[in-house]
Structure 1
Amino acid sequence: MTTFLRVAGVVAALGLALSACGGGGDPLAGGGTGETGDASAPIRIGSAAFPENQLLGEIYGQALEAQGVAVEILQPIASREAYFPGLRDGSIDLVPEYTGVLLQYLEPAATEKSADEVYAALQGVIPEGLTLLERSDAENKDAVVVTQEFATANNLTTIEDLAPLCPTITFGGPPEFQERPDGIPGIEATYGCTFAGYSSLDVGGPLTVTALRDGTVQAADLFTTDPTIESNGFVALEDPLNNFAAQNVVPLVNTAKASDQVQQVLNDISSRLTTEVLIDLNGRLAADDRPNPDTVAQDWLTEQGLL
């Protein structure tokens, strides 16, 4: 019988949710069960602290467990800046990643934009000891979002249209978006858009949605697969100059844990994921009964005949 170790809850507050149970300890502390080279230990699965990424981690974990692979689900960790060091030191073995932002994290000067170009470039900069598996067709990009009322009043359909208003408005998003190359610096460089202020909120969560809805911020960073865009009647502005590169979901795994079996299971998951599937799954997470990501993952895997 295999071991499926679950670490705490799947919905975490922003900040570093780093503790783990079942002997796992701090997922960013080296020397744990996921130490580099220990292929017999459970695969320690991390995720960023937003529901979609937690759900993808659950899908990976449950699919692997169903095939006899021991896994350990860690608490979500705030952002790439926090969890990537754990991948490097082996205290985290597997994360669901997004190609474009991962490329810019590893190579800030990268200029590739299309899905194929980004994936090819990314393969060339993945650090030793990590393996990039097959990318999925599923894509979740950052988007500059405004309310319908604001868009209508100012005749906005693109970020380019927004640029003349930027000196008069406040932008909202997660703290790291203010520094990332395709975040505020990219918007400024690409569109000449310098906002009057920046409000540090959450990663596509209720703080950002509420601030946009009540006018605390006039534009915000949300994900294109976020169901709150449609449910609130928000407008995701088009990005004609391609500030945001392709963002395909892709598993990033510790090479020591990337057995043929593990690769086969995860690549099969990637082959089944599409943007439409992500939107549907995010809609399930946002349902009135607020199911946990592990429940939504189990339901989807069962529908796919993988459990």
Structure 2
Amino acid sequence: MSIRDNTNRRLKEVLDIMAAGSWLVEKPNGGEVLAKATTRIPFTKEESELLSGGIPRGHKNLTKATADLVKAGWMTKGRSGWEITENGLRATVAFNTVEKLVDALGNGTLIPAGTPLPEKPAEKAAAKAAAKKASSKSAATKPAAKKPAAKKPSAKPATATGTATQAKESTDAPADQPTSVALAGTFGEALGAKNWDPAHSALQMTLQHSGTWQLTADLPAGKYSYKAVLNGSWDENYGAFGVLDGANHEFAHVGGSVTFHYNHATKDVLSADDTES
């Protein structure tokens, strides 16, 4: 099966995952959607190859392909995350196979009039109700578990600039941002810090007016791994696709200056090469 065929299959999964997520109170963000799609249809060896931007070929292809869903009016992408539209929900009913979906996107086929919205998954609703009932019963018979004491974030040097508090004094950034975001990984020593140490000032990102976090670093050529660490503690960290405690971001660099961007809405990190593509 070709790379294009695999991308199309994952694109169908993306729409289906977002449709299923539309019934949830907390909708899955873009990173979670991509992660689930690639878990269902794993990358081949060729698709796993890292491009110059430091991301797998398959990930970049799928991210680009989602633009077709936006163009068709089936989903939206914004600062608040990804959302499936009503037409997108109807599309999962009208174009319920990969072939039908790809043909509709390629030819600009309109959704037939009268196409119903997908029904709420009865099994999931029943399972959720059963879980809620079990939880209520358990809460009535067992004492509440103690919440683990929060770990105190590692102290940051007074020169660190990557904090939400400092940025908010001069920006209109959202109020739900973390206190700090650091990129901890194997390039720490190249920047004068220890590898995988989120406390060093050289690894702190700075909150921008746009609401995203940014870090520009001068790195030698090589392959690096890293994660986004929030609030100075590994208690909350995000890896590839913005997954909590997920796999490391893998970054292949030709050498020189590179800028990283962290979006708290998607919990994902992109390098300058990714955002320009």
Taking structure 2 as the reference length, the TM-score comes to 0.25
Which of the two has greater strand per residue? Answer: 2
Q: Higher relative contact order by CA 8 Å / sep ≥ 6: 1 or 2?
A: 1
